[in-house]
Structures are given as C-alpha cells and as structure tokens.
C-alpha cells in the first residue's frame, strides 16, 4: 500500500485496526484492473474508505462508500461507541459526513471514492451493479447485518470478494451478527475463505 495513504488511514478516525486495514487493502488490491466497482457498507469518518480507496485507485476502478452518516445503534448517545463531538447540534443527530469528506479529500481520493449517502437496505433494493469487492461493516445488530447480507451479497460477481468486519467466533469478544453472516456465506457453498486477520474475514465467490 502507498505509504502516504497508509499513514493517512492509520491517522483517520474510526474503527479499523492497522493490521486489519492493511489486510482489507491487500485483498481489495487483487481485483481485476479496470473491472467492476467496489462497495463498502459503513464508512463512518472514512478510515476503511482510505484502505479500500487506495486499492480501488491501484486497480483503476472506484469505491462506492455507503453510509447514512447518522451512526449505528451503538454510536448513539448512551451506547458504548458514542462520540459526542460527532453530533450536529442544529439537527441533534450524529453527522459523520463532513468528517468523511474531509478525510477523503485530504487523502487525495475524491476522484476514486464516491460517497453514497443513504440507508443501506433502501439503496440495496434498487441496486443493479455487479461488484468486484463488497465490504460489510454497517449496522451490527441482527436485523441490519442479515439484511445487508441478503440484499448486497448477490451483487458480488463470481471470483469477486466479500469482506466482513467484526467477526467474532467467541461470543466473549463481541456481537454475533457479523459472525452469523460469515457462517451463512460459508454454509451457502457460494463463498470460500481467503484470509482471516483479527476480526476481518475475506471470502471469494466461487459459485453464482
Ligand atoms: N468502516 C468504518 C466504521 C463503520 S461504523 C471505519 O473504518 O471506521 C458503522 C457505520 O455504519 C456507521 O457510520 C453507521 O452510520 C453506518 N450504518 C449503520 N446502519 C446503516 C444503514 N442502515 N445504512 C447506511 N449506513 C448505516
Ligand atoms: Mg467494524
């Protein structure tokens, strides 16, 4: 990975340990040059967007960075992952979009990373573009995670990659839903595991 972008990603605000971010980048950097776009669900302040955007740039494609930018359940006031300075006081709700824009601008990735601001299942029901790489890191509750899996994984092209974050086989380490959708992908027979780094799993579609 380009060392300047790696530094920028490590400095960016968000939820992606450096080794997992690098593994995410390295997996995404294997997609075909000039091929189908990549998409991430859950951009927050742009941290994973730099790791994936760098790969998209290297492979002459683009990254759609999907987020409603209002935060997940666990980012809301009173929850474990709430960051009070992300609340837009005039609206009274979290707004990570300005942070995301600044992060992607400062990384020099505005021509590669395309923000898509909206609700994942709402967009997913209208989406029609095959993907070379899909990263699922949106809502981590049961309903959101399973819905993202059901609506978006059909768009991963054969030979394409599916990455899932926050996969914890041991319940003591974290919530179940990302692990459950990882299991669904494997049990479907359509995906095989390519790599595991921390809580990141990368799978390849081997059947339609
Ligand atoms: N990948 C990020 C962390 C993502 S945190 C990083 O590298 O730091 C999860 C994100 O998912 C939050 O920003 C939240 O707003 C978004 N999210 C949760 N549910 C969503 C939904 N239904 N539609 C769009 N985005 C959603
Ligand atoms: Mg995550």
> Which of 40, 33, 45, 115 is closest to 86 using CA atoms?
45
* Lookup: tokens for 188: 């479907």
State the pLDDT at residue 20: 98
Average pLDDT over residues 12-22: 98
Residue with tokens 């979009």: 97
The per-residue pLDDT for 79 is 87
Quick check: CB of 12 below 6 Å from ligand 1? no
Q: How confident is the model at residue 71 (pLDDT cuts 50, 70, 90)?
A: very high
Residue 82 confidence (pLDDT) above 90: no
For the chain, the average pLDDT equals 97
Q: How many CB atoms lie within 10 A of CB 93?
A: 14
pLDDT band at 198 (very low <50, low <70, confident <90, very high): very high
| Cα(44) to centroid(ligand 1), Å | 5
Return the structure tokens found at 30. 């294997």
Atom of ligand 1 nearest to the CA of 47: 7
Residue partners of 142: CB distance under 8 A and separation at least 6 = 176, 177, 180
The verdict on the CB of residue 120 being under 6 Å from ligand 1 is yes
Query: Where residue 80 falls among pLDDT bands split at 50, 70, 90?
Result: confident
pLDDT recorded at residue 74: 87
99-123 mean pLDDT: 98
């Amino acid at each position: 990975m380009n060392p300047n972008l790696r530094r920028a990603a490590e400095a960016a605000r968000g939820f992606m340990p450096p080794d997992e971010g690098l593994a995410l980048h390295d997996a995404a950097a294997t997609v075909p040059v000039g091929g189908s776009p990549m998409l991430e669900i859950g951009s927050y302040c742009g941290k994973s967007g730099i790791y994936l955007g760098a790969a998209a740039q290297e492979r002459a494609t683009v990254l759609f960075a999907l987020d409603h930018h209002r935060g997940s359940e666990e980012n809301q006031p009173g929850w474990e992952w709430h960051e009070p300075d992300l609340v837009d006081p005039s609206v009274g709700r979290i707004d990570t979009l300005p942070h995301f824009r600044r992060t992607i601008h400062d990384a020099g990735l505005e021509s590669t990373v395309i923000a898509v601001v909206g609700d994942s299942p709402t967009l997913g029901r209208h989406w029609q573009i095959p993907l070379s790489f899909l990263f699922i890191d949106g809502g981590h509750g049961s309903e959101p995670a399973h819905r993202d899996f059901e609506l978006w994984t059909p768009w991963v092209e054969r030979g394409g990659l599916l990455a899932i974050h926050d996969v914890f086989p041991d319940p003591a380490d974290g919530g179940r839903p990302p692990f459950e959708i990882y299991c669904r992908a494997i049990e479907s027979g359509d995906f095989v595991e390519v790599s595991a780094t921390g809580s990141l799993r990368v799978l390849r579609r081997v059947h339609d």
